[in-house]
Amino acid sequence: MIVGVSFEDPGLTSRIRSGVDRVEALLARSVDSPEPFVAEAAAHLLNAGGKRFRPLLTLLCAEFGEPRGDEAVEAAVVMELTHLATLYHDDVMDEAPVRRGAPSANARWDNSIAILVGDYLFAEASQIVAGLGTEAVRIQAETFSRLVRGQIRETLGPGEGEDPLRHYLDVVADKTGSLIAACALLGSKMAGASEEVQRTLLEFGERIGVAFQLADDIIDIASESGDSGKTPGTDLREGVPTLPTLLVLASSDDADAELRARLSAPIEDDALVEGTLDELRAHPAMAEARAYVHAEADASRALLEKLPAGPARDALSELCDTVVTRVG
C-alpha cells in the first residue's frame, strides 16, 4: 500500500514506490539551505508528515504516457512544495496553532517567519518548474493565481445575495481542486500523454480534489482522533464554514434554530465545542454531506472511463474508493 492506496499490478507498484522515494529525496534537498534556521523552518511541515497525495497523483497520471527521465518526479515536487507553501500561509491566515499534529510554524516562531518560509518554498518550486519548460511554468502560475483568488474569496466571504454553500464550493475548487488538477495535468503532460487524456485527467483532478477536501470537512466533525491532521472541531473553534455546517445553516427547521445561531460564530468554549460535535454527528446534514462526497467520487470515477484501461486507471479508481471509505 502506498499513501493509502493499494496497487494490484507489481510493475506499477515498483514504479510508483521508486517515484515516491525520489520525490522524498528531492523534497529534502529542495528545502535545505546553507542557513541552518532557514533549513529548519522550511523542513518543519515537510518533516511533520502528510499524505503526499499530490505527488502520488502526479506520478500516477504520468503512467498515461512515457515518463521522460525525472520530469514527472520534478513536477510532483513542484506541486508538493507549492502545497506546503500554501499551508504556511494558511496557518497565518487562520491563526492555527497546530498543523499535522505539530505546532504550526507561526506558533513555533511567528507570523512573519511563517510567511517568509512559505515564500521561500514557492521560490524553490519556481526554480524547479523553470526547468520543465514554459508550459509547466504557465500551469503553475495559473494554479497559484487560483489559489490566491480562492483565499481572497474565503477571506471576504460570500457577497450580498450570494449562496453561502455555492460560494464555499467555489472556494474549495480554487484552493484545493485547482492544485490537485494541476498535479494530474502536469504528470500526464510531462509524460507526453495525448491532449484528450490530459483534459480528462485535469477534470478528474479537480473533482477528486474537491471531494477530498469535503471529506476532510466531514472527518473534522465525525472523527475523534484527528484523522484530518487537525484536532476535531478545529473548524468550529475558528468559525470556519464547512460542508456539514453550511447544510445546517441552510436548514429552515425550527428545531435547528439554536444550533444555527451557535454555528454562526466561532465557538470558544471546549465543552460547547464537544456538545456541538455530538449534535452534528447525529444531524441529518452529515448524511447529506456524505451523499455529496459519494456523488463527487462517483462523478470522478465516471471520467476515468474515457482513459485507456490498465493498472494506472484502476489505481485512480481506487483513489475514488478511498474518498468514500474516509467518510463512511
Q: What is the pLDDT of residues 159-199, one digit of tens each?
A: 999 999 999 999 999 999 999 999 999 999 999 999 999 99
pLDDT for the residue numbered 49: 65
- Compute the C-alpha angle 198/17/24, nearest 5°: 90
- Compute the C-alpha angle 163/149/58, nearest 5°: 105
Which residue ranges form the domains of the chain, and what is each CATH number? 1-193 (1.10.600.10), 195-327 (1.10.600.10)
Position 1 confidence tier, pLDDT thresholds 50, 70, 90: very low
Which residue in this structure is represented by grid cell 508550459?
Answer: 135
pLDDT for the residue numbered 277: 94
What is the separation of C-alpha 87 from the centre of its chain, rounded to a whole number of angstroms? 10
Distance CA 46, CA 303 (A): 32
Amino acid at 64: F
Distance CA 247, CA 303 (A): 27
pLDDT for the residue numbered 322: 87
Which residues neighbour 87 within 8 Å (Cβ) at sequence distance 6 or greater? 45, 99, 118
Distance CA 180, CA 34 (A): 31
Position 237 confidence tier, pLDDT thresholds 50, 70, 90: confident
- Identity of the highest mean pLDDT range in 77-86, 151-160, 281-290: 281-290
pTM beyond 0.85, yes or no:
yes
Q: Contact at 8 Å (CB) between 101 and 226?
A: yes
pLDDT for the residue numbered 250: 92
What are 32-41's pLDDT values in tens digits?
888 877 777 7
What are 89-131's pLDDT values in tens digits?
676 666 656 655 566 666 666 677 778 888 888 899 999 999 9
Count helices and strands (H / E) in the chain: 16, 2
- Sign, CA dihedral 135-131-62-206, equals negative
Lowest mean pLDDT of 48-52, 187-191, 283-287, 304-308, name the range: 48-52
- Compute the C-alpha angle 223/226/229, nearest 5°: 130
Q: How far is CA 160 from CA 154, 157, 163, in A?
A: 14, 10, 9
Pure H helices in the chain: 10-31, 36-47, 53-62, 71-94, 105-108, 111-130, 134-156, 164-172, 178-190, 195-222, 234-238, 243-249, 257-263, 270-281, 284-303, 311-327
